[in-house]
Amino acid sequence: MKPTLLVLAAGMGSRYGGLKQMDGLGPNGETIIDYSIHDAVEAGFGKVVYIVREHFKEDMEKHVRKQYGNVKAIDGEPLEFVFVTQELSKIPAGYAVNPERQKPWGTAHAVLMAKDVIHEPFAVINGDDFYGKDSFKILGDWCRAHDGKEGAFCIVGFELENTLSENGSVSRGICFYDDKNILTGIAEHLSIAKEEDGNVYGNNSVSGEEHVKLAAKALCSMNMWGFTPDYFQKSEASFKTFLREHGQELKSEYYIPYAVDCIVKEGKAVCEVLSTPSRWFGVTYKEDRPGVVAKFAELVKKGVYPSPLY
């Protein structure tokens, strides 16, 4: 069984100031998604599903055809690509959209767009985050181990200190889990940064506490998930409840952690917390770009990636 990789690439990158998904950051203009797909193929994934917006779908498809035309999965079969659009109006029948709302419904809504094209265990990632080879290997192994099962979810947790930006504070969801590594909750923390004393601090948006000292090794969510395909049915049921309760709010969003929490609390699934030694990096701010370009150049120099990548 070859798992599927679902890439969340519909975001506009408002803080960054442009479409990060199309920004060439590697030595030969490779995008972050290019590196993610390279790592996913090595980890045994056989299909890639892109969640995009209609207005740049054509550009993404052109890039993919050019970049991955000759790429094959590890079994020698051509790598399969599917494009699905996320739009505000794509909600279950019988639910109305507030006419003043402009943005779609968030990451869990985006994942639901792929319910008709994914029928095997799958991974979810952000298109503008670099996760590292180890992370994809861990997630690919988990997906294969859960083929044919139901109600099995996982999240790949990154050590907090491996996810910080040098150019501003970040928001991170800190994972809480029991002695069997089963997720019990995710607490969103805002304004996280390492300060002059070498410690990491942030504001707990759940408790309201500000300037809380955080464990540098705490595992946090970078939106890297694994799901068995029954997730779609369970998430759609939760989305309908969400729309009934929050559908007319202009800025309400149906996020993956929220969907997972609802499903787990209903006793319909268990979410395992996996840890990775990989160091995350990405382009949260425009000022992050030179550093990311330098990191890819260093990885190529060390032989971690070929150049050109494809």
Highest averaged pLDDT of the listed ranges 74-78, 153-157, 246-250: 153-157
State whether residue 27 is helix, strand or coil: coil
Long-range contacts, 72-81 (Cβ 8 Å, 24+): 72/41, 73/2, 73/41, 73/44, 73/45, 73/46, 74/41, 74/42, 74/44, 75/2, 75/46, 77/46, 79/37, 79/41, 79/46, 79/47, 79/48, 80/46, 80/47, 80/48, 81/47, 81/48, 81/49, 81/50
Tell me what the mean pLDDT of segment 177-182 comes to. 96
Q: Does domain 4-301 have CATH number 3.30.450.40?
A: no
pLDDT digits (tens, 9 = 90+) for 207-238: 889 999 999 999 999 999 999 999 999 999 99
DSSP codes joined into one string, 48-84 = EEEEE-HHHHHHHHHHHHHHHTT-B-TTSSBPEEEEE
Map out the domains of the chain as residue ranges: 4-301
Quote the percentage of the chain above a pLDDT of 90. 65
For 117-130, what is each residue's pLDDT tens digit?
999 999 999 988 99
Phi-psi sector, 223: left (phi>0), alpha (psi -120 to 50), beta: left
Residue 287 confidence (pLDDT): 86
User: Residue 128: its pLDDT value, please?
Assistant: 86
- pLDDT of residue 243 exceeding 60: yes
- Adjacent-strand bridge partners of 73: none
User: What would the mean pLDDT of 139-160 be, rounded to a whole number?
Assistant: 97
The percent of residues in the chain predicted with pLDDT above 70, rounded, is 96
Helices (H), 165-269: 231-246, 256-265
Give per-residue pLDDT as tens, 4-49: 999 998 874 433 344 555 678 989 989 899 999 999 999 999 999 9
